[in-house]
Amino acid sequence: MNGYLGTILRVDLTAGRLWDEPLNEDYARGFVGGSGLAARYVYDMVDAGTDPLGPDNPLVFMAGPLVGTVMPSAGRYSVGGLSPLTRLWGEANSGGFFGPELRFAGYDGLIVTGQAARPVWLAIVAGRAELRDAGELWGLDSYATQERARQALGEPKARVACIGVAGERLVRLGAVMNDAGRSAARTGLGAVMGSKRLKAIAVRGSAAVPVADAAALQAVAREVNAFAKEDMASASIRLAGTAGALDVSLMYGDLPIRYFQQGEWAEAGNLSGVLMAEQYLNRGRACYRCPIGCGRETRAPRYGVASVDGPEYESLGALGTLVMVADLEAVIYANHLCNVYGLDTISTGSTIALACELYARGLLTAADTGGLELRYGDAAMVHRLIEMTAHREGFGDVLAEGSAALAERAGVPGLAAAVNRLEVPLHDPRAFAGLAVSYALSPRGACHMEGDMYGVDMGQCPAPELGIVPGDRFDDTEEKGRVAARQQAWRNLYNALTLCQFQNPGVDAVLAALNAATGWGWQLEELMAAGKRIVTLKRLLNLRRGLTRECDRLPELLLQPLAEGGTEGRVPDVAALLAGAYAEYGWDPESGRPAEETLQRLGLANL
């Protein structure tokens, strides 16, 4: 198959067995790659009773048909499986170089099942895979693990995906780390890796990805690179990283403050990405063949740390404004701790912020926290709670279960800012109403990477050929719900190709690249059909796991108007937006289930 190596590595950790398996061509044609293809494989392997932390839950690492080619910003990979945090479909993706190197090592992806009797790590070099004892790696932080694995492999340029202490301790906020501080962080799949006692995966190779029309793909690559040089959004990210969006987000009321309950905060400007670039930036970094280079290497000299990966916009919000910490260097260090231990910064920051809110309301006391006083604005407390969470130490053992579990423990489940138990990211649907669909219907729980409607309405990523056009950010009509559903389907396809969502060269360029790589000869309508097929498959998987129509909602906190700030006292009409989204997807609005004719049209009737 053009665009694919044609091989999946299967790993049974219980038996200690490894084997190559031909890529299922029908699955690849229907679900493309990345999280789409991972979900298709997982669908066959789990049922309603599969334990996310049990040996039967598969952990899937998957690249896409553009990864490792000359296509710019196609250096990502996806991790998929059942989430220990949500118990539904879990997925995360990451940039860097691990995804392309997995392809160069000879594989489109790998599927890990079972549970090792003792810690192991997986070495893959030029199509040869073996399991090795990880006794000396177990307990190391994510940076040390990557370095030691490269040394043990004798391949200084190998790329390593691994877990830190949080994954080992089965913290449900655990991330999979790669390329220093890059992370596939959301939904707790680092804990799944830890449950399998798989510490790391190191890959190295030189295989070439076969493409149908190399000259055509080169032409698209030149076009995309030229676009990135002129695009203002790309230039802004190149200058200040994703953190550069913080000031604009504040203006719109998009950046949550004080656990989603405050619309303005003068000190939030102290966390500006521009200030970070002026005061703490060492250098910018780029992923594989990326002309943008959003990555930041910063420093926190007050804490004795000369090199920190990040922080990104989401981390500045989660570890800054959400917990009312306006000390930029302290937030940089908090982000570093999350990288070291392998924690999702969004879920970690949100869970700590909820703990502060519960303490302020008297629903948590020092007796519950082991004597710790929890206060908004206390950076040292945030640092301490990150360490305690990663090690499941004391009250950290409670935080390690996530915000939904914490709110339930305190007797106020409605106070958790989460959708299907996944913490809401740092974009507020009161500021961009279309996000209500992105969050309520995201297959993995609240997620801005499966429908970035703030980007659409700010004109940064329109796709008019697909019916995705900018509009009034407060528009909460059924038609806006349809647009949001189309954007969600489009981004699910992006996560299958897999492409970085900061690269938005236009639908025609993406279509041309896919056809040049695969030779499929797709038309525009097939792009949207593939995106909807992927979303609907994940929906079917979640329905099997117990998801109901009642789960399609926003948390109570995000439906309370804020008196001040850029949201102008508005809340989205979730019912109207969802009605439009259900209609666009062809799902029954009463049950939330895909209609029979929809399954037929998408080729999913056999499921």
Q: What is the pLDDT of residues 108-129, one digit of tens each?
A: 999 999 999 999 999 999 999 9
Query: Which position has the higher pLDDT, 416 or 239?
Result: 416
Distance CA 167, CA 139 (A): 10
pLDDT at 233 over 90: no
Contact 443, 186 (CB under 8 A): no
Which of helix, strand or coil describes residue 89?
strand
Phi, psi (degrees; rounded to nearest 5) at 495: -75, -5
Which of helix, strand or coil describes residue 123?
strand
Position 370 scores a pLDDT of 96
- In this prediction, residue 462 has a pLDDT band, given cuts at 50, 70 and 90, of confident
One-letter identity of residue 460: Q
Residue 439: which of 426, 369, 516, 404 has the closest Cα? 426
95, part of any domain: yes
Distance CA 272, CA 244 (A): 7
Contact 109, 191 (CB under 8 A): no
Contacts of 274 (CB under 8 A, 6+ apart): 240, 244, 247
255, part of any domain: yes
Tokens describing residue 444: 């993995």
Which residues, listed in sequence order, are joined to residue 184 by a DSSP beta bridge? 176
Position 115 scores a pLDDT of 98
Distance CA 437, CA 442 (A): 8
Length of the chain: 607
Contact 468, 480 (CB under 8 A): no
Q: What is the pTM of this model?
A: 0.98
Average pLDDT over all residues of the chain = 97
Residue entry with tokens 């996806």: 78
Contacts of 564 (CB under 8 A, 6+ apart): 262, 263, 264
Position 340 scores a pLDDT of 98
419, part of any domain: no
Are 400 and 314 in the same domain? yes
Tokens describing residue 392: 């499941």
233, part of any domain: no
Position 242 scores a pLDDT of 94
Total tally of structural domains belonging to the chain: 3
Distance CA 345, CA 311 (A): 9
Q: What is the pLDDT of residues 465-521, one digit of tens each?
A: 999 999 999 999 999 999 999 999 999 999 999 999 999 999 999 999 999 999 999
Distance CA 552, CA 478 (A): 15
One-letter identity of residue 355: A
Contact 232, 455 (CB under 8 A): no
Are 456 and 591 in the same domain? yes
Contact 142, 342 (CB under 8 A): yes
* Number of neighbours of residue 411 by Cβ within 10 angstroms: 9
Position 172 scores a pLDDT of 98
Are 28 and 175 in the same domain? yes
One-letter identity of residue 147: E
Distance CA 359, CA 364 (A): 5
Helical spans, DSSP H, in 297-344 = 313-318, 328-341
Position 232 scores a pLDDT of 85
Work out the percent of the chain whose per-residue pLDDT is above 70: 100
> For the purposes of burial, counting CB atoms within 10 Å of the CB of 450, is it exposed (0-12), middle (13-18) or buried (19 or more)?
buried
CA angle 581, 586, 588 (to 5 degrees): 85
Are 288 and 156 in the same domain? no
Is the bond into 311 cis (omega within 30 degrees of 0)? yes
Find the CATH number of the domain harbouring 480.
1.10.599.10
> For the purposes of burial, counting CB atoms within 10 Å of the CB of 583, is it exposed (0-12), middle (13-18) or buried (19 or more)?
middle
437, part of any domain: no
pLDDT at 565 over 90: yes
pLDDT at 311 over 90: yes
Distance CA 216, CA 285 (A): 28
Distance CA 368, CA 374 (A): 11
Are 544 and 458 in the same domain? yes
231, part of any domain: no
Find the CATH number of the domain harbouring 20.
3.60.9.10
Are 390 and 460 in the same domain? no
Q: What is the DSSP string of 80-132?
A: EEE-TTTSSEEEEEE-SSHHHHHHHTT-SEEEEES--SS-EEEEEETTEEEEE
Find the CATH number of the domain harbouring 343.
1.10.569.10
Which of helix, strand or coil describes residue 11?
strand
Residue 453: which of 600, 284, 277, 580 has the closest Cα? 580
One-letter identity of residue 236: S
Are 360 and 465 in the same domain? no
209, part of any domain: no
Phi, psi (degrees; rounded to nearest 5) at 297: -110, 115
Residue 320: which of 305, 306, 335, 302 has the closest Cα? 335
Q: Which helix (H) or strand (E) holds 41?
A: helix 34-43
Which residues, listed in sequence order, are joined to residue 128 by a DSSP beta bridge? 125
Position 376 scores a pLDDT of 98
Position 577 scores a pLDDT of 98
Distance CA 369, CA 54 (A): 30
Which residues, listed in sequence order, are joined to residue 19 by a DSSP beta bridge? 10
418, part of any domain: no
* Number of neighbours of residue 477 by Cβ within 10 angstroms: 16
Q: What is the pLDDT of residues 404-429, one digit of tens each?
A: 999 999 999 999 999 999 999 999 99
The residue from 411, 433, 468 where one domain ends is 411
Distance CA 439, CA 124 (A): 37
Are 268 and 175 in the same domain? no
Are 187 and 123 in the same domain? yes
Position 464 scores a pLDDT of 96
The residue from 371, 389, 411 where one domain ends is 411
Are 504 and 593 in the same domain? yes
Structural domain for 144, as ranges: 7-204
Residue 513: which of 35, 103, 503 has the closest Cα? 503
Residue 124: which of 217, 202, 45 has the closest Cα? 202
The residue from 176, 204, 232 where one domain ends is 204
> Do the strands 59-62 and 77-82 form a parallel or antiparallel pair, or are they unpaired?
antiparallel
Q: What is the pLDDT of residues 65-92, one digit of tens each?
A: 999 999 999 999 999 999 999 999 999 9
Are 192 and 297 in the same domain? no
- In this prediction, residue 546 has a pLDDT band, given cuts at 50, 70 and 90, of very high
Are 54 and 151 in the same domain? yes
